């Protein structure tokens, strides 16, 4: 297994992935707490620094680049300072920003997290969730059509903010199947039953339960039954349910189920871990890896990023070192 995974890391570097979904800026306000406000029972945060990183679908693209793959991204931004900041960060990471649509009617999505003593205290979201008008949707589909023949796989990174409309989703799946390339989905609960005939979906436990409106999920056996129902409902090749400290559950089209233990040593922050899973998994599938190997290497990547604070990525060097260290035990 170890040699296969190490060889896969090298193969990943040759892959080009199209990311479709909701981009955003992840803003972090870092500080210290020394006292409670006299105005209300809340901590007073003394700010020490402020940082910004790529979030949402942009973080998926960033994860692909961190593993030395190539990413194209189709999405939207607002005509605002945050939009300019997002483009600047994309360019710095070597990601082509020319397929982003600028919408003057909607702000760039910004998620602001206030962190003190390594703990997230609060998150503030600036966003508009409605679907885009027909002209914007047409431009999104046009950009997908321009890029689809240049890539080895497609990721639908659906945060439910409007980019992934039903029309965009159906067109993307149709084109991916036409060009015989994998199409993977990081789902939104509200759209859960619409991702028909994809290669694989990667919900976490909460998304899987809520997306299927399931009741009384109490143990591993219940989760297995639910996974099979998701697979049948979507008519897809497979489902990978991420389960935090329990690792991952891979359900394949023949109803074969494999439980993969977590590879995380320590968990500091799960922000963006789902982005890392879908990025690494899709790169591996694009490199013709089997589903189990793709899930295993994605599991190792996720174990790296949850050990970091804030929206993070795993580099190919970190991934190689982590796999080697694990199999030396």
At 312 the three-state DSSP class reads: coil
Identify the DSSP state of 96.
Answer: B
Alpha helices, DSSP H, located in the chain: 2-12, 57-66, 81-92, 134-147, 166-178, 205-211, 220-234, 273-286, 291-305, 316-328
Q: Could you tell me the strand order of the sheet in which 248-252 lies?
A: 100-103, 70-78, 16-21, 153-157, 183-186, 200-201, 238-242, 248-252, 257-260
Catalytic residue among 103, 269, 275, 325: 275
* Structural element, H or E, at residue 102: strand 100-103
Dist CA 115 CA 22 (whole Å) = 24
CB–CB of 102/126 below 8 Å? no
Q: How far is CA 212 from the centre of its chain?
A: 20
- Our answer to whether residue 275 is catalytic in this structure is yes
Residues with active-site annotation: 275
């Amino acid at each position: 297994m170890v040699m296969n995974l190490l060889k896969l890391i090298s193969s990943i570097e040759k892959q080009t992935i199209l990311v479709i979904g909701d981009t955003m800026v992840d803003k972090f306000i870092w500080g210290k707490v020394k006292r409670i406000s006299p105005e209300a029972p809340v901590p007073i945060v003394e700010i020490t620094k402020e940082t910004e990183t790529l979030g949402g679908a942009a973080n998926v693209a960033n994860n692909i680049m961190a593993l030395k793959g190539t990413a194209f991204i189709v999405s939207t931004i607002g005509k605002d300072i945050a939009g300019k900041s997002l483009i600047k960060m994309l360019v710095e990471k070597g990601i082509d920003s020319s397929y982003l649509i600028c919408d003057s009617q909607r702000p760039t999505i910004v998620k602001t997290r206030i962190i003190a003593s390594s703990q997230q205290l609060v998150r503030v979201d600036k966003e508009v969730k409605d679907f885009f008008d027909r002209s914007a949707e047409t431009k999104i589909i046009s950009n997908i059509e321009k890029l689809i023949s240049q890539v080895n796989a497609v990721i639908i990174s659906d945060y439910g903010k409007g980019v992934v409309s039903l029309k965009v989703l159906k067109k993307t799946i149709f084109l991916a199947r036409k060009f015989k390339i994998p199409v993977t989905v990081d789902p939104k609960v509200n759209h859960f039953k619409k991702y028909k005939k994809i290669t694989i979906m990667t919900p976490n436990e909460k998304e899987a339960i809520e997306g299927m409106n399931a009741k009384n999920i109490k143990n591993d056996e219940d989760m297995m039954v639910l996974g099979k129902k998701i697979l049948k409902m979507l008519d897809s090749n497979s489902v990978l349910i991420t389960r935090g400290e329990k690792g991952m559950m891979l359900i394949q089209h023949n109803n074969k189920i494999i439980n993969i233990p977590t590879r995380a040593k320590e968990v500091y922050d799960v922000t963006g871990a789902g982005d890392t899973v879908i990025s690494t998994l899709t790169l591996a599938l694009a490199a013709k890896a089997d589903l189990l190997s793709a899930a295993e290497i994605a599991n190792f990547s996720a174990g790296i990023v949850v050990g970091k604070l804030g929206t993070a990525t795993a580099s190919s060097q970190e991934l190689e070192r982590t796999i080697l260290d694990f199999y030396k035990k």
